Amino acid sequence: MNFLEWYRVDRLPSIFCAGCGIGTVINCTLSAVTSMGWRRNDVVFLSGIGCSSRAPGYIRTDSLHTTHGRALAFATGVKLAEPRLNVILFTGDGDLAAIGGNHFIHACRRNIDLTVVCVNNYIYGMTGGQGSPTTPVGARSSTTPYGSTETPFDLSELAMAAGANYVSRWTPYHTKELTAAVKAGLETPGLSFIEVMTQCPTGYGRANRLRDVKEFMEIFRMRSMLKQKADRLLKEGKPVPPDAIVIGEFVRRSRPVMGRRG
Amino acid sequence: MTMRRFLQGNIACAEGAIAAGCRFFAGYPITPSTEVAEHMAERLPKMGGTFIQMEDEIASIAAVIGASWTGKRAMTATSGPGLSLMMENIGYAAMTETPCVIVDIQRGGPSTGQPTMASQGDMLQARFGSHGDYSIIALSPSGVQEMYEMTVHAFNMADRYRIPVFLMADEIVGHMREPMEVPDSVLIIQRRLLEEEGRKPFEPREDLVPDFPLFGHGHFVHVTGLTHDERGYPSTSNPEVHERLVKRLVQKVEGARREIAMFDVVNPDAEVVFVSYGAPSRSVQQVLHDFPGEGFGHLRLKTPWPFPEWAPGRFENAKTFIFPELNMGQMARELERHVDQPVISVPKLGGALHSPEELAKVAMEER
């Protein structure tokens, strides 16, 4: 499907580094959006601050590039004031889980009718590669030079526990599944959370010997484990490898929703 | 036609907002402003509007700004600690030229301070609290009638200049109950919408205010807190783009001071002149009433910001300005910049209003 008219081609080239996964995430998201049959007039993109939050600046719809961590609060205002608009957010692990953590859990609790696409690249990319709430234990960054010692957040589990109606996790290696997941999120009333574990060869890769995108893709291919399999292992009392990336649909349900769909 | 009602200041503020067409309120409970939120929670759903209690004040002002981009008149109400939290997104509203109204029922600070006691301690924060250069309008009501009227006016000014407008009330005015006249209808000045084909979304008109591109109407506008050009696109390394934008954000308000600023002048021939805004104006009015023969003057600032620097000049014989405030002299400092005569700041902290007697005593000494 061609969705070139959805891009602000006059803003290209983008600021994203060579090998960045955000372009893949934007493509999958726009593919899902256009498959809904929505016009550009029906959609508003929002974002906070960080690499992923620059995505709406390249999409030719109305868009609100807001303050760090606050996009979900702005989106709550947009959606409740004009429910006919389909509201989609791009965010990242730092934006959503650190400075925006409170807004995140409350948006999930309210189960407001928004779709959140989170580019989780384990790092603060825009500021040059600092540790984030999802940096794995032992991973290096410019603020964890001896390896991170903090336990990271599992954002999909967090969204599910906080009440989101739809939660799934994929990687840029799984473009078809990711596109289908975003579409499922757009179709599901309530808060939909799609987490995309994404390569950052510049910020994360440099500090962790992963500058080669092919290696990153190989990790996404080899270490990804479907949620069903992980659940089965747990049920059988077998361990899930600690470096496994559990992917798939975490939940799809119909808790009461705030903000009706247009 | 009007209807006479006996109302609390905070309720009058909420009623004024509804009369002005406000249909979106996001807030967080905080004394002494909470009655505004409670009244909006009761009234808005019946009028097809939206009330939402957010998780904090940061989210409250964020939701208000989001709602404003869909064309709704939107408001929040808070007090000092909440205003501190809002500062980040108030700067965002200034940078993105988003109309919104922020009601601050001031209480004693700093920090948690005196939740139930009055203060005017946020006057400089309202003007300068967010980082970077920008301008805002602040209105200062001194009674229940003005809580209503100035809230209406705040929405008109927010839409007219596309800025955050502050209603800088305080605990005394917010919790005061007195009779007021509720009009059948109020003057509404809507924001100027972007309709002209090919016009850029942040291209200013002669008054330096760009036409507003409503979300969902095919403008496909990109709104960002980054320094942006007239298309709305980020342009963060070009010094001229930044200078032009920031100067315009300041100048669209400061250049219109004479249209915006409102003040009352009483006894323009006076040599001893009281200057006030908000609740202390009531004490000053009592002094003028109690000592009619003394010929004291009174300059009452209805809009402390932007400051009408020409207003003190209306008192041609003035020898002294006496400025009672419920703070350590925040606006007296501004007045001093604009007059040659001595400015006697009369600070009052703790929550009580200046008594007319103590103000009269200061004035008698200056006579």
* A104 interfacial to chain B (CB closer than 8 Å): no
When computed from its CA atoms, the radius of gyration of chain B, rounded to whole angstroms, is 21
Asked if the model's pLDDT at residue B101 lies above 80, the reply is yes
Nearest chain A residue (CA) to B87: A67
Q: Tell me which amino acid residue A128 is.
A: G
Smallest CA–CA distance, residue A75 to chain B, in Å, is: 6
Contact B62 A70 (CB under 8 A): yes
Contact A77 B55 (CB under 8 A): no
Q: Which of B74, B218, B225 has its CB closest to that of A67? A: B225
Does residue A253 lie within any of the structural domains?
no
Asked if the model's pLDDT at residue B18 lies above 80, the reply is yes
Q: Which of A60, A65, A77 has its CB closest to that of B62? A: A77
* B291 interfacial to chain A (CB closer than 8 Å): no
Give dist(CA B126, CA B117) in Å, integer: 19
The rounded mean pLDDT for chain A is 96
* pLDDT tens by residue, A60-106: 999 999 999 999 999 999 999 999 999 999 999 999 999 999 999 99
Asked if the model's pLDDT at residue A2 lies above 80, the reply is no
Instruction: Report percent pLDDT > 90 for chain A.
Output: 97
Average pLDDT over residues A109-133: 98
Contacts of B234 in chain A (CB under 8 A): 57, 65
Contact A66 B56 (CB under 8 A): no
When computed from its CA atoms, the radius of gyration of chain A, rounded to whole angstroms, is 17
Contact B62 A57 (CB under 8 A): no
Q: Which of A57, A64, A80 has its CB closest to that of B69? A: A64
**Domain B262-366: assigned CATH number:** 3.40.50.920
H helix intervals, chain B: 9-19, 34-43, 57-68, 80-96, 123-128, 144-161, 171-175, 239-254, 257-260, 280-290, 330-336, 356-366
Average pLDDT over residues B106-123: 98
Query: How high is the pLDDT of residue B247?
Result: 98
Strands B22-27 and B73-78, sheet pairing: parallel
Does residue A261 lie within any of the structural domains?
no
Query: Which domain range does residue A67 map to?
Result: 29-226
Q: How many domains does chain A have?
A: 1
* A65 interfacial to chain B (CB closer than 8 Å): yes
Contact A77 B64 (CB under 8 A): yes
B363 HSE (CA, 13 A, CB side): 31
Q: How many CB atoms neighbour CB B187 within 10 A?
A: 10
Query: How high is the pLDDT of residue A262?
Result: 42
Nearest CA-CA partner of B254 in B186, B189, B306: B306
Does residue A193 lie within any of the structural domains?
yes
Average pLDDT over residues B179-183: 98
Contacts of A67 in chain B (CB under 8 A): 62, 88-89, 92, 225
Q: How sure is the predictor about A210, in pLDDT bands with cuts at 50, 70 and 90? A: very high
Place of tokens 């925006």: A100
Contact A82 B215 (CB under 8 A): yes
Structure-token pair, residue A161? 């526990």
CA A63-B28-B89 angle, to 5 degrees, is 35
Give dist(CA B212, CA B191) in Å, integer: 7
In chain B, which residues fall in CATH 3.40.50.970? 2-183
CATH number at A150 reads 3.40.50.970
Average pLDDT over residues A199-223: 96
* A119 interfacial to chain B (CB closer than 8 Å): no
Crossing angle of helices A101-110 and B57-68, in 10° steps, is 70
Asked if the model's pLDDT at residue A143 lies above 60, the reply is yes
Does residue A217 lie within any of the structural domains?
yes
Is residue A193 exposed (0-12), middle (13-18) or buried (19+ Cβ within 10 Å)?
Answer: buried
Query: How high is the pLDDT of residue B334?
Result: 98
* pLDDT tens by residue, B205-243: 999 999 999 999 999 999 999 999 999 999 999 999 999
CA B258-B259-B264 angle, to 5 degrees, is 70
Host H or E run for residue A123: strand A123-124
Q: Which fold has domain B2-183?
A: Rossmann fold (3.40.50)
Give dist(CA B230, CA B234) in Å, integer: 10
Interface test mutation site (partner B, options A10, A59, A62, A110, max chain B beta carbons within 10 A): A62
* A254 interfacial to chain B (CB closer than 8 Å): no
Q: What separation, in Å, do the N-terminal and C-terminal C-alpha atoms of chain B show?
A: 44
Q: B101 in helix, strand or coil?
A: strand
Q: How sure is the predictor about B367, in pLDDT bands with cuts at 50, 70 and 90? A: confident
Asked if the model's pLDDT at residue A23 lies above 80, the reply is yes
Instruction: Report percent pLDDT > 70 for chain B.
Output: 100
Contact B62 A84 (CB under 8 A): no
Contacts of B93 in chain A (CB under 8 A): none
Interface test mutation site (partner B, options A6, A58, A70, max chain B beta carbons within 10 A): A70
Does residue A13 lie within any of the structural domains?
no
Q: B356 in helix, strand or coil?
A: helix
Does residue A135 lie within any of the structural domains?
yes
* B54 interfacial to chain A (CB closer than 8 Å): yes
* A38 interfacial to chain B (CB closer than 8 Å): no
Asked if the model's pLDDT at residue A261 lies above 90, the reply is no
Query: How high is the pLDDT of residue A1?
Result: 61
A96 HSE (CA, 13 A, CB side): 34
Crossing angle of helices B144-161 and B9-19, in 10° steps, is 40
Does residue A23 lie within any of the structural domains?
no
In chain B, which residues fall in CATH 3.40.50.920? 262-366
Q: How sure is the predictor about A3, in pLDDT bands with cuts at 50, 70 and 90? A: confident
Q: Which of B62, B72, B234 has its CB closest to that of A81? A: B72
Is residue B246 exposed (0-12), middle (13-18) or buried (19+ Cβ within 10 Å)?
Answer: middle
ipTM > 0.90 (yes/no): yes
> What separation in angstroms does the CA of B130 have from each of B77, B136, B154?
18, 11, 20
Contact A81 B50 (CB under 8 A): yes
| Helix/strand number for chain B, H first, E second | 12, 15
Query: How high is the pLDDT of residue B52?
Result: 98
Average pLDDT over residues A134-140: 98
Q: Which of A40, A46, A81 has its CB closest to that of B67? A: A81
